[in-house]
């Protein structure tokens, strides 16, 4: 069995872990690390019968994820304090949002950067306040910086000079150049306040955002983790009002694909009417599970295809040509 499929199978049904051979355990942990799912895996299989060496790795991963959670919530608090005087809605996105709201994807989840969404017309105020509070620009390249400011859905990434943590300040969900234009104002308007004043997206918007991030943007690198988020969110919130909300954001097909892929890989229960597979679905499965038993990425051609697709989705053809040419001249190559 493909080791990434083995990981999916164990996440789906933890009892599958009982009776794994040593090489299977080794591959399972290697892929789980590569996909940033080792904490999730650890929580799923914790307490089952397993060799002591595997149990040690499980214990390490649980402790590590717990520390990551504490650090992520602290980072959110730091951003809250920096932005509080501006009195603007600050919506937590992705990992930090799941952790702050105690949602099921957050169990054992690795949390990378802090992602927040603010109103587009106030994004510069937010940037100024963050710079004053110790965050600094990361991208030294003027082309990259200008590119972000002109065309992206977020500010150029900022990193905190003492804590070395990155913050992505979003003002919408997809790049401005993308063909799909989700309604960020509606997402902000329907967001839900947490006790500390920070906000999270409404349940349907949370699914829409996760699906947009995975299937309407990017090249699906590390997609198994993001798909696990979607699996958990769909399990937690169900499908009420989801299709209508997704349609409003132009994300109907991304959300439908997310549901199908989650169903395929993790066995997420989805309504009968959502089970309409298209000809691309098998290719997405191949991309999502492109890992060998060492956790290294495989299927280079499939990956290259998705890399090109991500750019195709992101910008019109002429602009794409110009962008790729500029990046090529600067020495960038697709991996």
Partner 1 sequence: MRHVTAVRIGPIGFRIGSHWRGPIAAIEDLYAGYPAPDDGIPDFNVHLFAARPWRRVLRPSVHIGGDFVIPDAAPLPLAQGLLAAEMGMNLQMALGLRRYLLLHASAVERDGRAVLMTGISGAGKSTLAALLMARGWRLMGDEFVLIDPATGLAHAFPRLISLKNEGIPVAEQAVPQGRFGPMLLGTPKGTLRHLVPDARAVSAMAEPAEPALLLFPRFGFEAAERAVLPSEAFVRLTQSSTNYVNLAERGFEALTRLVRSVPSRAIDYPDAETAVGMVEALA
Positions that interact with partner 1 (CB under 8 A): 22-23, 25-26, 29-30, 33-34, 51-54, 56-57, 59-60, 63-64, 67, 70-71, 294-296
Picking from 231, 255, 234, the residue whose alpha carbon sits closest to that of residue 243 is 255
Q: Give whichever of 70 and 128 is closer to partner 1, judged by the CB atom.
A: 70
Q: Give whichever of 150 and 161 is closer to partner 1, judged by the CB atom.
A: 161
Which residues pair with residue 137 across a beta bridge?
Answer: 158
> Is 177 exposed, middle or buried (CB count within 10 Å of its CB: 0-12, 13-18, 19+)?
middle
Q: Give whichever of 34 and 76 is closer to partner 1, judged by the CB atom.
A: 34
How far is Cα 187 from Cα 210, in angstroms, rounded to an integer? Answer: 13
Shortest Å distance, C-beta 120 to partner 1: 32
Shortest Å distance, C-beta 267 to partner 1: 26
Whether 258 and 281 have beta carbons less than 8 Å apart is answered as no
The SS3 of residue 54 is helix
* Element at 168 (helix H, strand E): strand 166-170
Q: Give whichever of 61 and 201 is closer to partner 1, judged by the CB atom.
A: 61
Shortest Å distance, C-beta 119 to partner 1: 34
Q: Give whichever of 68 and 252 is closer to partner 1, judged by the CB atom.
A: 68
Backbone φ and ψ for 199, nearest 5 degrees, come out as: -125, 160
> Is 151 exposed, middle or buried (CB count within 10 Å of its CB: 0-12, 13-18, 19+)?
middle
Shortest Å distance, C-beta 58 to partner 1: 11
Shortest Å distance, C-beta 77 to partner 1: 15
Backbone φ and ψ for 232, nearest 5 degrees, come out as: -65, -45
Shortest Å distance, C-beta 18 to partner 1: 14
Tokens of 289: 């599970």
Name the pairing type of β-strands 135-137 and 158-160: antiparallel
Q: Give whichever of 20 and 256 is closer to partner 1, judged by the CB atom.
A: 20
């Amino acid at each position: 069995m493909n080791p990434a499929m083995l990981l999916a199978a164990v996440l789906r049904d933890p009892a599958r872990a009982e009776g794994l051979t040593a090489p299977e355990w080794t591959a399972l942990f290697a892929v789980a690390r590569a996909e940033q799912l080792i904490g999730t895996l650890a929580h799923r299989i914790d307490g089952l019968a397993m060799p002591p060496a595997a149990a040690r790795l499980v214990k390490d991963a649980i402790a590590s994820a717990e520390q990551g959670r504490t650090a992520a919530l602290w980072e959110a608090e730091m951003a809250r304090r920096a932005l509080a005087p501006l009195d603007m809605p600050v919506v937590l996105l992705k990992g930090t949002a799941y952790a702050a709201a105690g949602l099921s994807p957050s169990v054992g989840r690795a949390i990378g950067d802090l992602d927040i969404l603010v109103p587009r017309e106030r994004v510069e105020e937010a940037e100024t306040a963050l710079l004053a509070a110790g965050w600094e620009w990361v991208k030294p390249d003027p082309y990259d910086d200008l590119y972000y400011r002109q065309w992206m859905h977020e500010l150029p990434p900022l990193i905190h000079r003492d804590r070395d943590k990155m913050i992505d300040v979003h003002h919408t969900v997809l790049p401005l150049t993308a063909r799909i234009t989700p309604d960020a104002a509606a997402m902000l308007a329907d967001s839900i306040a947490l006790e500390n004043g920070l906000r999270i997206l409404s349940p349907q918007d949370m699914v829409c955002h996760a699906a947009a991030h995975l299937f309407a943007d990017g090249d699906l690198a590390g997609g198994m983790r993001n798909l696990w988020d979607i699996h958990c969110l769909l399990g937690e919130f169900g499908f009420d009002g989801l299709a209508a909300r997704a349609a409003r954001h132009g994300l109907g097909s991304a959300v439908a694909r997310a549901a199908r892929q989650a169903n395929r890989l993790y066995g997420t229960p989805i309504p009968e009417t959502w089970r309409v597979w298209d000809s691309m679905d098998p290719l997405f499965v191949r991309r999502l599970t492109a890992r060998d038993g060492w956790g290294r990425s495989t299927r280079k051609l499939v990956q290259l295809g998705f890399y090109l697709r991500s750019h195709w989705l992101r910008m019109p053809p002429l602009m794409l040509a110009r962008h790729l040419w500029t990046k090529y001249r600067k020495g960038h190559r697709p991996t």
